[in-house]
Amino acid sequence: MARSRSGWLIAAAVVVVVLLLLVGLAWWSLPGVGPAAGSAGAQSGGSEPVASGGAKEPESDAGASSRGLGGEPGLDGDDGAVDTDALSPEALAALAEELLADPNTHVVCDLGVPMARGQAYLAIGGHSDFNGRMVQVVDGKAYMPLVYDLGQLGDMVIEERTGLFSLEGYGPVEVSWSDRPQGGGHGHCTARIDPENSRASLTGTLTLAGSGRPADGAWVEGCGNMVFADEGGIVHMDIVTEPCTLIAMRQDGMLRTMSDPIPVVPVPGEDVVLDITLPEGKRGGLGIQLSQADDGAFVIDDVLDVGPARSAGLEPGDVVVEVNGESTSDLEIGEFVKRLGGEAGTEVDLVVERGGERKALTIVREALTPG
């Protein structure tokens, strides 16, 4: 059956995006890593984005560590709280019901502030424990996710029942919540949100070592808050008023780097200004163009004349059936692409099917430039 024109356009767009990613272009848009004034080595692991109203899909990393469950951008493309009257009372009630029904919502906290809809940050434990969650706020209540355990992200049980809650315009405040109810349901808490509380703030400029370009998509976490950098690599957030520690991170597919701890000495009522330089890892690819067939199979459409895929013997028409020992049958194309990519110089194990026979290959990723 012939596909519709829109269907062909969508398929073509997917192929173009995949080609760009695998060719190893340096246009990074995903959050990732970095150090501060000082040296910082690239690491894998670190803070894993978790959103309120459910765990974030593995867009940034397959596994979250027990420390450092960082956040994702705010509602409506905003990084902080969003107070808006755009939603009707009925729509707000429906959103609240949706959050209550989400199994990842563990605690409902009455904030006592007239906020229709917004987003905040919860740092479980101390202000520099890097165990944070983004929290949705609806009609003056905060719906806190994954504060008793990590749900589908892991088996860890969280014993801590205190933390710091940061709502933009109010500054970080201490918060505590109840144990998980014996008969099920949600825990409860009350946070004393005070618009007049004494607080400090932080403004940072994040740049990438080597190129010197802004580290857009990176994020900073710690000191009781978390925020993503804008397109110019600028971050700004309220922080606690006592000495604390930050980390900066940036991520590209499965490649994540993390800064050394950044000590901060806040001054109440003043803005701390930091210049943070993040290491710029070399993104590697295989040098192939591929598409996903109607049956879900990942088919190689083309192989670059120069690149690791050509050297390894991959050919157009090959079907990739395994990546690093895992079947590709249940993978979405975005996740598949991320598993193929990684740091230049690292290896990826593939099993491809050609003419009814399977062949195992180990390919070293390379930093590629399209010609």
d(CA 236, CA 242): 17
Q: Tokens 């060719």 appear where? A: 23
Q: Measure the CA angle with vertex 14, ends 13 and 19; round to 5°.
A: 100
CATH-assigned architecture of domain 206-278? Sandwich (2.60)
pLDDT at 47 over 90: no
DSSP 93: H
Where exactly does CATH 2.30.42.10 map onto the chain? 5-24+285-364
With 0.75 as the threshold, say if the pTM is over it: no
pLDDT at position 25: 32
Structure tokens at 12: 């073509």
What tens digit of pLDDT does each residue of 291-307 get? 888 788 899 999 988 88
Task: Indicate the pairing of strand 141-145 with strand 132-138.
Answer: antiparallel
Where exactly does CATH 2.60.40 map onto the chain? 206-278
Structure tokens at 88: 């009707």
Is the Cβ–Cβ distance between 243 and 226 less than 8 Å? no
What tens digit of pLDDT does each residue of 197-242 get? 678 999 999 988 878 889 888 999 999 999 999 999 999 999 999 9
φ and ψ at residue 256, rounded to 5 degrees = -130, 135
pLDDT at 343 over 70: yes
d(CA 161, CA 149): 12
d(CA 69, CA 80): 17
pLDDT at position 108: 96
Mean pLDDT across 131-144: 93
Is the Cβ–Cβ distance between 177 and 191 less than 8 Å? no
pLDDT at 59 over 70: no
To which CATH superfamily is domain 5-24+285-364 assigned? Answer: PDZ domain (2.30.42.10)
How deeply is 96 buried, as exposed, middle or buried, from its count of CB atoms within 10 A (0-12, 13-18, 19+)?
Answer: middle
pLDDT at position 284: 76
